[in-house]
Amino acid sequence: MTARDGRGRAAGGHWSRRGVLAGLIGAPVLLLAACNDSKGDEGGNAAGGSGSSGGSGSSGADGTGTASGASSPPKTSAAVITVTPADGATAASFSDPVRVAVAGGTLGTVEVVDSAGRALAGELSADGTVWTSATAPVSGTKYTVTATAADRDRLEANANATFTTATPANTFVGYFTPEDGSVVGVGMPVSINFSKPVTDRRAVQQAITVIAEPGVEIVGHWFSSTRLDFRPQEYWAKGTRVTLKLRLKDVQGAKGVYGTQSKDVRFTVGRAQTSVADLAAKKLTVTTDGRVSAVYAISGGSPEYRTWGGRMVISEQFQQTRMNSQTVGLGSEYDISDVPHAQRLTTSGTFIHGNYWSSPSIFGGQNTSHGCVGLQDVKGAQDQGADGARFYKSSMVGDVVEVVNSGDRTVEPSNGLNGWNMGWAAWKAGSAV
Tell me the C-alpha to C-alpha distance, in Å, between residue 184 and each of 102, 144, 292, 346, 417.
55, 45, 20, 17, 13
Tell me how far the alpha carbon of residue 159 is from its chain's centroid: 26
Between the two ends of the chain, the Cα-to-Cα distance in Å is 138
DSSP H or E run through 211? strand 208-213
Sign of CA dihedral 66, 69, 73, 79: positive
Q: Residue 170 contacts by C-beta under 8 Å, 6 or more apart in sequence? A: 256, 257, 258
Neighbours of 16 (CB within 10 A): 13
Check: CB of residue 227 under 8 Å from CB of residue 192.
Answer: yes
DSSP H or E run through 324? strand 316-324
Closest CA to 244 of 208, 286, 298: 208
> In the annotation, is 353 catalytic?
yes
Does residue 303 have a cis bond before it (omega within 30 degrees)? no
Closest CA to 243 of 218, 206, 224: 218
Q: Residue 406 contacts by C-beta under 8 Å, 6 or more apart in sequence? A: 279, 300, 301, 306, 307, 308, 309
> In the annotation, is 14 catalytic?
no
Neighbours of 73 (CB within 10 A): 5
Instruction: Out of 221, 341, 353, 370, pick the active-site residue.
Output: 353
Instruction: Out of 221, 341, 370, 372, pick the active-site residue.
Output: 372
**H-helix segments, 171-241:** 201-206
> Bridge partners of 107?
149
**H-helix segments, 298-374:** none
Rounded Cα distance, 272 and 236, in Å? 8
Residue 114 buriedness (CB in 10 A; 0-12 / 13-18 / 19+): middle
DSSP H or E run through 141? none
Q: Which amino acid is at 178?
A: P
- List the catalytic residues: 353, 372
